[in-house]
Amino acid sequence: MAGGHKETPGGEREGSPRVSSVSHLTLNRLSFYLRCLRSLQSEEVQRISSKELANRYHLSASQIRKDLAQFGEFGIRGVGYDVAQLIEHLSDLLGLERLHRMIIVGMGNLGSALACYFGFNSGAFRVVAGVDRDPAKVGASLCGFTIGHTDDLAKEVRRSRAEIGILCVPAEAAQSTYDELVAAGIRGVLNFSPIRLRPVENVAHKDVDLRIHLEELAFFLKEPLPAD
Amino acid sequence: MAGGHKETPGGEREGSPRVSSVSHLTLNRLSFYLRCLRSLQSEEVQRISSKELANRYHLSASQIRKDLAQFGEFGIRGVGYDVAQLIEHLSDLLGLERLHRMIIVGMGNLGSALACYFGFNSGAFRVVAGVDRDPAKVGASLCGFTIGHTDDLAKEVRRSRAEIGILCVPAEAAQSTYDELVAAGIRGVLNFSPIRLRPVENVAHKDVDLRIHLEELAFFLKEPLPAD
DNA sequence: AGATGTGAATGAGTTCACAGCT
DNA sequence: AGCTGTGAACTCATTCACATCT
């Protein structure tokens, strides 16, 4: 087996040989903390302790501290954390201080939806291009860009200066499209197709398998309802 | 899932002891194994050892065996696993033997896309209903059902006999809509809204936060590309 | 022999508990 | 006093190694 990267088959696998090894669990929590802090800021809260943050959002205080301490001393002992400052630090840490341009490959149901999805077009993220194989779709405009043809993928990536590719093509096309994206110089890929990609060095990579989430739910629905 | 790792999807009550204490990591792997096995079956492979399965799909042989052994002795020592039999066992185990009817709440970009998404309308899953607050959307037909009004949520759930709710409403509406779904008798919820729901006993529950995946990617894009 | 199933060892991730700073 | 930051304890998850079965 090649380099020892940890994998969670079918669910989230996370790419790139990591130099600074932060677990994706920690990263996800940091993202979540950031969201909480923004909410607090809008409520004009200026300082917060790990304990209160934990109470408000059902988190663990010691875990908040551990997570943050990994990256420096952001808090003030005896006081807590400065909300604005911590937002600043976390945004910086997560790479959210600049805009990330994204291209969607495969403008089917899911691709089209994501192109206009608020979560993909707010804050540090923006969908700036999209391509599809189907000539009938090419040329259509939606949510701020005009759909190009998948044959021009590399050109579209360069033109739009996208650094993240959102892969929404069917399973059969996923690996080849991924390789094209990488060849075009993409730096990160969010893969919605239900297959495992052969990942490339130095390209960040995240699988999101929507079906698998349903199957997880199904497992719990199978269990007999405890009639209490 | 946003932060916590200790999520307890569904009210954890003692039903079958071994069934209720399966980690979601294991469950996701089982789903993935099942997919691999189906692919093998379509290639007419009849028997496979954990080692070969692992090699083919970049998994860990001992983990495959551990995962499966949790639920019984499905293999034949000295031989391997019977593909068809194991598919049967896994489908059964994951509750994929019967159809799961689903209702989408919030027919915006994402909701509409999921309604017609293949992964949500194949195998054991089918979207059978959808509702929205916007009267302009109510009455429209797509992908096999007619959009109802969110005010009639409980009625729609009953009429369509949906057991899973797909929550695609904005953050503000998420908690109240969740509560309505639960009151309407829904048994599982897949939550795409970016907030943490206060979960209810005995309702299976899974958060899928698409934005957080982007933020995870952004972190790796921020890092200096390792030259090693 | 050859592969499973499983206790034991290792490793990852989380919580505890407290030293040390404000 | 109060709260952070952190080593140590603990829990959960994966890998190893081998006894066990075909």
What digits encode the pLDDT tens for the residues A112-169? 999 999 999 999 999 999 999 999 999 999 999 999 999 999 999 999 999 999 999 9
**CA B175/CA B196 separation, integer angstroms:** 8
Q: Identify the pLDDT of residue B199.
A: 86
Chain A CB contacts of B95 below 8 Å: 218-222
Residue range A194-221: mean pLDDT, rounded = 93
By Cβ distance, the residue of A10, A95, A113 closest to B32 is A10
B174 CA to C11 C1' distance (Å):
38
pLDDT digits (tens, 9 = 90+) for B15-57: 333 446 899 999 999 999 999 999 999 999 999 999 999 999 9
CA→C1' distance for A74 and D1 (Å): 22
Scanning every residue of chain A, which has its alpha carbon at the shortest distance from the alpha carbon of B26?
A: A8
What percent of chain A stands above pLDDT 90?
85
Across the interface, which of B57, B95, B217 has its CB nearest the CB of A221?
Answer: B95
Token code pair at residue B54? 């692992």
Which of B213, B223, B225, B228 is most worth mutating to test chain A (most A CB atoms within 10 A of its CB)?
B213
- Best mutation target among A56, A216, A225, A228 (most B Cβ atoms within 10 Å) is A216
pLDDT at A45: 97
Q: Is residue A61 within 8 Å of A81, Cβ to Cβ?
A: no
Contact flag A226-B15 (C-beta cutoff 8 Å): yes
- For residue A29, the tally of other CB atoms under 10 A from its CB is 23
User: A218 and B117 in contact by Cβ < 8 A?
Assistant: no
Give residue A224's pLDDT.
56
Measured CA to CA, the distance from residue A39 to residue A23 in angstroms comes to: 25
Identify the bridge partners of residue B148 per DSSP, sorted by sequence position.
B131
pLDDT at A6 over 80: no
Q: Which residues of B touch A221 (CB under 8 A)?
A: 95, 100, 163-164, 187-188, 204
* A25 CB contact with strand D at below 7 Å: no
> Each residue of A23-78: pLDDT tens digit?
999 999 999 999 999 999 999 999 999 999 999 999 999 999 999 999 999 999 99
Of the candidates A192, A190, A202, A130, the one whose C-alpha atom is nearest the C-alpha of residue A165 is: A190
Q: Do B212 and A32 count as a contact with CB atoms less than 8 A apart?
A: yes
Contact call for residues A156 and A147 (beta carbons, < 8 A): no
Whether the pLDDT of residue A228 is over 90: the answer is no
* Whole-number pLDDT of residue B6: 38
- For B209, the closest chain A residue by CA position comes to A119
Distance CA B221, CA A204 (A): 7
Tokens for B122, please give them. 């194949």
Strand partners, A127: A102
Q: Quote the pLDDT of residue B196.
A: 86
Q: Which residues pair with B206 in a beta bridge?
A: B190
CA dist B118 and A70 (Å) reads 41
Name every chain A residue with its beta carbon within 8 A of the beta carbon of B3: 28-29, 32-33, 57, 59
Residue A146's region, left for phi above 0, alpha for psi from -120 to 50, else beta, is beta
Write the pLDDT tens digit of every residue in B87-96: 999 999 999 9
Furthest CA-CA distance within chain A: 63
Res A21: pLDDT: 84
Secondary structure, 3-state, A3-40: CCCCCCCCCCCECCCCCCCCCHHHHHHHHHHHHHHHHH
Q: Which residue has the tokens 């569904």?
A: B10
B228 pLDDT above the threshold of 80: no
How many angstroms separate the Cα of B188 from the Cα of each of A130, B32, B117, B121? Answer: 34, 21, 19, 17
**pLDDT one-digit tens code per residue, B71-89:** 999 999 999 999 999 999 9
For residue A101, give the chain B residue with the closest CA.
Answer: B218
The conformation of residue A203, written as its DSSP 8-state character, comes to -
Q: How far is B135 from chain A (nearest CA, A)?
A: 20
Residue A39 pLDDT? 96
> Residues of A with CB below 8 A from B29's CB?
8-11
Helix, coil or strand: residue A159:
helix
Q: Residue B1: what pLDDT?
A: 36
Does the pLDDT at position A225 exceed 90?
A: no
Give pLDDT, residue B10.
Answer: 31
**Predicted local distance difference test score (pLDDT) of residue B56:** 95
Size of interface A-B (CB pairs under 8 A): 224
Q: 3-state SS string over A57-108?
A: HCCCHHHHHHHHHCCCCCCECCCEEEHHHHHHHHHHHHCCCCCEEEEEECCC
Q: SS3 of A173, please? A: helix
Which residues have a Cβ under 8 Å from the Cβ of A180 and sit 6 or more positions away? Answer: A153, A154
Q: Are A190 and B213 in contact (CB under 8 A)?
A: yes
Look up the pTM and report it.
0.89
Name the β-bridge partners of B132.
Answer: B149
> Does at least one atom of strand C sit less than 7 Å from the CB of B75?
yes
Instruction: Write a three-state SS string for chain B.
Output: CCCCCCCCCCCCCCCCHHHHCCCHHHHHHHHHHHHHHHHHHHCCCCEECHHHHHHHHCCCHHHHHHHHHCCCCCCECCCEEEHHHHHHHHHHHHCCCCCEEEEEECCCHHHHHHHHCHHHCCCCEEEEEEEECCCCCCCCEECCEECEEHHHHHHHHHHHCCCEEEECCCHHHHHHHHHHHHHCCCCEEEECCCCCCCCCCCCEEEECCHHHHHHHHHHHHHCCCCCC
Contacts of B96 in chain A (CB under 8 A): 215, 218
